[in-house]
């Protein structure tokens, strides 16, 4: 809780400082734009967060977005499936992919990095093959459906932001209030102890990968609706890295067992705010990545120092007890 608050304050600070230096940053149009991207990437970051909490990783998010982002318009426009059926197919596909990742990781004990790295290659290839490398989109049709991302509540709040808050709320309930959330945090921290406590840890890990893939798949559709032009070979490239960066900035530790949904959404927002600030503060846009990298590095370094300080204090207390 304390950590989430810290992340939120950091976000607010970056926000205000940029706003003071460059007031155009705070214009409604720009805020709406940032909120839209935060929503889209935030959905991915929540998924990545679940996997990271189990001390796993998912590198296939971007390729899965490429695949679902290509397939969704292909199903609706190319094949002519009804919206619901196309949507259901994509979700089912994403769930199957997540289930497969989980199965390989828990039952065959393959490393998450390797399994999802292979996924990264495979889904990209499949997307390119199925579409024949042809750009996918909705053209001028499906305006109603596209409102799912294009609509602005009260004319200012973009739908993706509303969606991420909704999903985030559900995810937070799941993580903090249900027995499954407790199980995920427990096994992420100490898988053996969780298993000895009678928790079906394999099932929970599989569940986390399914959540991650289904959110990526859903995100892929939203991105496709938003962009309306999906190039199968590049669509979603590196998005997994933004998702992971958001989750880590938001307080998830790759060692597992740590992280809050609120923090993750703040983390995703922070990535967007930084990108945007780079633009407004007249930093050369070429160095956008450098800035993001540095901010994350500073973030985790500070976090590590705080942790070490706490551990030292703890060790001192412990020494007296031993």
Partner 1 sequence: MQNADANPFLEATGIHKHFPGVHALNNVNAVFHAGEVVAVIGENGAGKSTLMKVIAGVHPPDAGSITIEGESVTIPTVAKATELGIAFIHQELNLSDNLSVGANIFLGREPRKFGGIGIIDQKAIRRDTRAILDQLEMDCNPETTVRELSIGHQQMVEIAKALSQNARMIIMDEPTSSLTQHETDRLFNLIRSLKSRGVCIVYISHRLMEVGQISDRVIVLRDGENSGELERREIDHERMVSLMVGRSLTQFYQHKEHQVGAPVLEVSDVVVPGLSEQPISFTLHAGEVVGMAGLVGAGRTELAQAIFGVDGEISGTIKVNGETVDISNPRDAINAGIALVPEDRRDYGLITEFAVRDNISLSALDRYQTGKFVRQKEVADLATEAVDEFNVKATSIENEVGLLSGGNQQKVVLAKWISLKPKVLLLDEPTRGIDVGSKSEIYQLIEQLAGQGVAILAISSDLEEILRISDRVLVMHDGAMAGELGRDMLSEEAVMGLATGSGNQPINQANE
Contact residues for partner 1, defined by CB under 8 A? 173, 177-180, 182-183, 185-186, 189-190, 192-200, 257, 313-314, 316-322
CA atoms within 13 A on the CB side of 154: 6
What is the C-alpha to C-alpha distance for residues 200 and 279, in angstroms, rounded to an integer?
A: 48
Q: How far is the CB of 264 from partner 1 (least distance, A)?
A: 19
Q: How far is the CB of 263 from partner 1 (least distance, A)?
A: 17
Nearer to partner 1, 150 or 182 (CB): 182
Q: How far is the CB of 217 from partner 1 (least distance, A)?
A: 24
What is the C-alpha to C-alpha distance for residues 137 and 23, in angstroms, rounded to an integer?
A: 36
Nearer to partner 1, 30 or 190 (CB): 190
What is the C-alpha to C-alpha distance for residues 46 and 299, in angstroms, rounded to an integer?
A: 19
What is the C-alpha to C-alpha distance for residues 189 and 218, in angstroms, rounded to an integer?
A: 28
Nearer to partner 1, 181 or 220 (CB): 181
Nearer to partner 1, 50 or 183 (CB): 183
Q: How far is the CB of 14 from partner 1 (least distance, A)?
A: 29
Q: How far is the CB of 184 from partner 1 (least distance, A)?
A: 12
Nearer to partner 1, 27 or 314 (CB): 314
What is the C-alpha to C-alpha distance for residues 81 and 78, in angstroms, rounded to an integer?
A: 8
Residue 141 has what DSSP assignment?
A: -
Nearer to partner 1, 99 or 180 (CB): 180
170 by DSSP, 3-state: which?
helix
What is the C-alpha to C-alpha distance for residues 59 and 57, in angstroms, rounded to an integer?
A: 6
Are 55 and 258 in contact, with CB atoms under 8 Å apart?
no
Q: How far is the CB of 174 from partner 1 (least distance, A)?
A: 9
Q: How far is the CB of 257 from partner 1 (least distance, A)?
A: 7
Nearer to partner 1, 56 or 158 (CB): 56
What is the C-alpha to C-alpha distance for residues 82 and 271, in angstroms, rounded to an integer?
A: 36
Are 278 and 294 in contact, with CB atoms under 8 Å apart?
no
Q: How far is the CB of 268 from partner 1 (least distance, A)?
A: 25
| CA distances, 100 to each of 86, 157, 199, 208, 213 (Å) | 21, 36, 21, 12, 10
Nearer to partner 1, 27 or 177 (CB): 177
Q: From 301, 52, 307, 304, select the one nearest 189 (Cα to Cα).
A: 52
Rg of the chain, C-alpha, whole Å:
20
- Strands (E) across 56-168 are located at 152-153, 157-158
197 by DSSP, 3-state: which?
coil
């Amino acid at each position: 809780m304390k950590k989430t608050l810290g992340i939120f304050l950091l976000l607010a600070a970056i926000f205000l400082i940029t706003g003071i230096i460059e007031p155009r940053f705070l214009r409604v149009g720009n805020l709406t734009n940032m909120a839209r991207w935060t929503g889209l990437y935030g959905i991915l970051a929540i998924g990545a967060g679940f996997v990271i909490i189990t001390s796993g990783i998912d590198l296939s998010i971007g390729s899965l977005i490429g695949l679902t982002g290509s397939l969704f318009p292909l199903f609706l426009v190319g094949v002519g499936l009804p919206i619901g059926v196309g949507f259901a197919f994509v979700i089912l596909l994403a769930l199957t992919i997540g289930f497969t990742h989980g199965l390989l990781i828990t039952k065959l004990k393959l490393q998450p990095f390797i399994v999802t790295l292979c996924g990264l290659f495979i889904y990209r290839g499949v997307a390119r093959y199925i579409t024949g490398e042809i750009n996918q989109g909705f053209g001028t049709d499906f305006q109603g459906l596209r409102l799912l991302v294009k609509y602005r509540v009260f004319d200012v709040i973009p739908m993706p932001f509303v969606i991420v808050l909704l999903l985030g709320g559900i995810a937070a309930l799941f993580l903090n209030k249900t027995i499954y959330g407790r199980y995920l945090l427990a096994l992420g921290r100490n898988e053996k102890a969780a298993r000895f406590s009678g928790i079906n840890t394999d099932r929970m890990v599989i569940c986390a990968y399914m959540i991650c893939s289904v959110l990526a798949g859903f995100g892929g559709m939203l991105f496709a609706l938003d962009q309306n032009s999906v190039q199968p070979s590049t669509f979603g490239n590196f998005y997994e890295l933004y998702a992971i960066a958001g989750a880590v900035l938001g307080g998830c530790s790759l060692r597992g067992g740590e992280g809050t949904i609120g923090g993750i959404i703040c983390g995703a927002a922070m990535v967007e705010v930084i990108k945007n600030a780079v633009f407004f503060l007249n930093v050369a846009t070429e160095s956008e990545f450098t800035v993001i990298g540095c901010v994350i590095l500073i973030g985790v370094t500070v976090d590590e120092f705080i942790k070490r300080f706490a551990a030292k204090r703890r060790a001192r207390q412990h020494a007296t007890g031993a």
